[in-house]
Amino acid sequence: MKRTAVYPGMFDPVTHGHLDLADRGRRHYDRLILAVLRNDTKQPLFNLDERIALVREAVEGWSNVEVDSFDGLLVDYARSVDASVILRGIRVASDFEYEMQMAMMNRHLSPELETVFLVPTEAYSYVSSRLVREVAGLGGNVDNLVPANVSKALKQRFARD
């Protein structure tokens, strides 16, 4: 049986931290789907199409990785793609509480779906999309924290403002 895992997130924008986690995750599953949340209530820096395009470019050539978007409950999306696992990363202790709450709620909603936590490489343990957006918006260099296409997109986005 094919084992499918879903790695969900806003990916606003995708960082080397996300990619490190996806690269680790894909070694354990036949198919890994990076599922980009639409979420119209948050005001993302990049719209859904842009976030998807940036993730797609970043994982180009990764044989068992797909990029998709979802809306609504994650457990419903996971069921629709036959996933048995939700993949998430825990970087630092402060991630733990939020991640546990989500994992418990998802288990409540869909007991057969397992959440698997992976630990990203130390080099990216402090990298978050929120900080990348903030630093890039203030003119700081994030080149080593995000793939080249994201770095370019950030420069264009903030040059325009």
Residues in contact with ligand PNS by CB under 6 A are: 8-10, 37, 73-74, 102, 105-106
* 16 assigned to active site: no
Between 115 and 149, whose beta carbon lies closer to ligand PNS?
115
Residue number, nearest CB to ligand PNS: 9
The least CB distance from residue 153 to ligand PNS, in Å, is: 17
Between 73 and 148, whose beta carbon lies closer to ligand PNS?
73
Helix/strand/coil for 14: coil
* 129 assigned to active site: yes
Residues 8 and 77: their CA atoms lie apart, in Å, by 10
Residues 2 and 64: their CA atoms lie apart, in Å, by 11
The least CB distance from residue 159 to ligand PNS, in Å, is: 25
**DSSP string of 63-125, one letter each residue:** TTEEEEEE-S-HHHHHHHTT--EEEEE--SHHHHHHHHHHHHHHHHH-TTPEEEEE---GGGT
DSSP 46: S
Of 26, 51, 88, 129, the active-site residue reads 129
Between 16 and 61, whose beta carbon lies closer to ligand PNS?
16
Residues classed as catalytic: 18, 42, 91, 129
